[in-house]
Structure 1
Amino acid sequence: MANIKNIQGLSGSDIERELSNGAKFVVFQYCISIVVMTFRRSSDIYFIRAGESTLKHGIGFTLLTLFFGWWGIPWGPIYSIGALFTNITGGKDVTQEVLNSMQSANSNPVSQPVAHS
């Protein structure tokens, strides 16, 4: 799983409380093109607290795409439009995927020692 940004100083119960108040985990997209090659990538995961704007976290990825995403033919413009739309609308919400990953990590059974006779 990618690194999770913006959770420094928060305990698990703080995160749960924020999530119940409307917080979410999001990723932003960006696109970089070099004439005939276009790279479409996602950022690390960002924890967006309830009432917090995604703008301050996504603006860098949006600007990167605006300046460097368009130039690849044919995918540069296509991927850039998609990345810009995703970022302007608040990023891609991956809250459920993060929670599922955390639950599966916590539910992995611990190996029990085998008794030898």
Structure 2
Amino acid sequence: METNNTEGLTMFEINVLVQQGGRFVVFPNTISKLFKKFKRSNIYFVRPEENTFKYALKHFFLNLTVSWKAFPWGPVYVVKSLYYLIKGGKDYTQTILDELNQNKPDYNPDVNFLKYS
């Protein structure tokens, strides 16, 4: 799954930002076409000084315009997206970090970077 806002960051930088208060959040979307519904989520890396409101508002309006058509559950999904807008997203920081650390073995916190200088 692709994470947004991590372009150009190394695993070390991501771990430092998470220790400073950064987190990975998800805003669920529901898109409906006639009687079919598709759930998808976007993962955003929110830096410590950043607010999640700009990401949440975009997803809330997307749910407001397209998910209400999936009757009878569509309005429930709109209310759920409003809940995550208020809450600041669904926090998946530990899950994403575990996956990134498994897929990026080049990061080793035990290596002394000064000995290579």
TM-score range, shorter chain: 0.7 to 0.9
Identify the range of structure 1 (7-16 vs 24-33) with the bigger mean alpha-carbon deviation. Answer: 7-16
CA-atom RMSD in angstroms:
1.8
Please name the residue that 1:104 is paired with.
Answer: 102
Structure 1 residues 32 and 41: alpha-carbon distance in aligned structure 2, compared to 1, 3 A threshold: same
Please name the residue that 2:12 is paired with.
Answer: 13
Paired residues in the alignment total: 105
CA contact under 8 A between 2:17 and 2:47: conserved in structure 1?
A: yes
CA contact under 8 A between 1:69 and 1:76: conserved in structure 2?
A: yes
Residue ranges of structure 1 left out of the alignment (5+ in a row):
108-117
Q: Please state how far the C-alpha of 1:59 moved relative to its aligned partner.
A: 2.1
- In 2, the alpha carbon distance for the partners of 1:106 and 1:36 equals 40
Please name the residue that 1:78 is paired with.
Answer: 76
Q: Highest Rg: 1 or 2? A: 1
Query: How big is each residue's C-alpha offset from its partner over 1:15-71, in whole Å with a ceiling of 9 and x where there is no partner?
Result: 11111111001111112234433333212x211000210122222211111112212
- TM-score (norm: length of structure 1): 0.77
- TM-score (norm: length of structure 2): 0.77
Identify the range of structure 1 (32-41 vs 11-20) with the bigger mean alpha-carbon deviation. Answer: 32-41
**Do residues 27 (structure 1) and 26 (structure 2) align?**
yes
Residue ranges of structure 2 left out of the alignment (5+ in a row):
106-117
Structure 1 residues 3 and 39: alpha-carbon distance in aligned structure 2, compared to 1, 3 A threshold: same
- In 1, the alpha carbon distance for the partners of 2:80 and 2:101 equals 31
